[in-house]
C-alpha cells in the first residue's frame, strides 16, 4: 500500500511539472487579437484571441500583442513589460469602456510598457483612458483618447515612472494629461501631442516634471498648462484656452519658441513663480496680456 501511495505521489508531481511546463510554453512572445477572434484560442496569427485581456495572459513578459483587423478589444490591466500595437488593423484598434478605466498599468518599477495605434473611448462615463500606477517607462504613440471623466492619461504614483507621449490626440474630458506623485519623481515627455476641448490640457503637480515639444494645446476652458512644479515648453502653441500657462507660486516654467494667442489670459504667474524664456516667444491677441508676466517670459 505504501509503495502504491509513493508511486501515485510521484505521478502527481510529474503531472504537475508537465502541466506547468505546458503553461509556460503557452506564453508566446507575439500574440494576436481579431474582431472575430475567441479568447479560448491560443492567440496565434491563425487562431487569434478576441480581447487584449484574453491575449495578455498568453503573452510572455516583454512580448507584443498585435491586431489583425479592426475591432473593439476591451479594457486591460497590464502588470508586466509588454507592447500592444494596433497599427496593423487598417482601421480602428478600439478600447471602448464605460464606468471604468480603459488601460491600467500597474507593473514593476523595472517594466516597460508600449501602447501604439489605439483608439481609447470612455463614451462619457469612463474613468481614465490610461491609468499609470507603476512602471519604469510607459510610451503612448499614435493614439486617440477621448470622452473620459478623469484625466485621459493619469499618472498617479508613488514611484518615478517616465511617460513618453508622441503623435497622440486627446479631447473631450476634464484633463488631458495629469502627473501626480506622493513620493517619487514622475517625468513626462510630450512630442506632437494635441490636447483640445478639455477643462485643463496638461497638469503637472508637485514633485513631477514635464517637457513639451511641438504640442498644440487648444480651446481648453481652464488652463492650457497648469504648472505646480517644473515644465519646459518648446515650439508649442497655446491658443483659445482660459489661461495659456498658469504657474503656481514656487514653480519654474521655461519657454522657447512658444506661441500664446487668443487666450483669456496669456500667462498667470502666482507669487514666486518663475516664468522665463527667450525673445523668440510670441504672446499676442490674448484678452489679458499680463505685462509683468509677459516681460518675465520674454527675458
In a 13 Å sphere around the CA of 157, the CA atoms on its Cβ side amount to 31
Partners of 178 in the beta sheet? 154, 203
| The residue count for the chain | 299
Say what the pLDDT of residue 298 is.
43
**295, three cell numbers:** 516681460
pTM: 0.90
For 263-287, the pLDDT digits (tens) are: 999 999 999 999 998 889 999 999 9
Residue 137 confidence class, pLDDT cut points 50, 70, 90? very high
**69, three cell numbers:** 483587423
Once rounded to an integer, what is the mean pLDDT over residues 235-245?
98
**Dihedral-angle region of residue 286 (phi above 0 means left; psi in -120 to 50 means alpha; beta otherwise):** beta
3-state secondary structure of 245: strand
Looking at the chain, the whole-number percentage of residues with pLDDT higher than 70 is 88
Residue 289 confidence class, pLDDT cut points 50, 70, 90? confident
Say what the pLDDT of residue 26 is.
62
Residue 290 confidence class, pLDDT cut points 50, 70, 90? low
Place of cell 508537465: 18
Domains of the chain: 2-220 (2.160.20.10)
Amino acid at each position: 500500500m505504501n509503495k502504491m501511495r509513493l508511486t501515485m505521489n510521484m505521478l502527481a508531481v510529474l503531472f504537475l511539472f508537465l502541466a506547468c511546463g505546458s503553461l509556460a510554453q503557452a506564453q508566446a512572445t507575439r500574440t494576436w487579437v481579431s474582431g472575430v477572434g475567441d479568447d479560448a484560442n491560443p492567440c496565434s496569427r491563425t487562431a487569434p484571441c478576441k480581447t487584449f485581456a484574453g491575449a495578455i495572459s498568453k503573452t510572455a513578459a516583454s512580448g507584443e500583442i498585435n491586431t489583425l483587423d479592426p475591432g473593439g478589444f476591451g479594457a486591460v490591466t497590464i502588470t508586466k513589460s509588454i507592447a500592444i500595437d494596433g497599427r496593423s488593423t487598417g482601421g480602428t484598434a478600439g478600447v471602448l469602456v464605460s464606468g471604468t478605466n480603459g488601460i491600467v498599468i500597474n507593473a514593476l518599477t523595472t517594466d516597460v510598457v508600449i501602447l501604439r495605434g489605439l483608439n481609447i473611448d470612455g463614451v462619457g462615463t469612463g474613468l481614465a483612458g490610461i491609468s499609470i500606477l507603476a512602471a519604469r517607462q510607459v510610451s503612448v504613440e499614435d493614439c486617440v483618447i477621448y470622452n473620459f471623466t478623469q484625466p485621459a492619461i493619469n499618472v498617479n504614483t508613488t514611484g518615478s515612472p517616465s511617460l513618453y507621449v508622441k503623435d497622440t490626440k486627446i479631447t473631450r474630458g476634464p484633463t488631458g494629461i495629469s502627473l501626480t506623485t506622493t513620493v517619487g519623481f514622475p517625468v513626462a515627455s510630450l512630442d506632437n501631442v494635441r490636447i483640445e476641448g478639455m477643462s485643463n490640457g496638461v497638469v503637472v503637480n508637485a514633485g513631477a516634471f514635464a517637457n513639451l515639444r511641438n504640442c498644440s494645446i487648444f480651446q481648453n476652458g481652464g488652463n492650457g498648462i497648469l504648472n505646480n512644479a517644473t515644465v519646459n515648453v518648446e515650439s508649442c502653441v497655446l491658443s483659445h484656452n482660459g489661461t495659456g500657462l498658469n504657474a503656481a507660486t514656487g514653480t519654474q516654467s521655461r519657454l522657447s519658441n512658444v506661441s500664446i494667442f487668443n487666450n483669456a489670459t496669456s500667462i498667470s504667474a502666482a507669487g514666486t513663480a518663475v516664468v522665463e524664456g527667450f525673445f523668440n516667444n510670441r504672446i499676442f491677441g490674448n484678452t489679458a496680456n499680463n505685462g509683468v508676466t509677459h516681460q518675465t517670459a520674454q527675458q
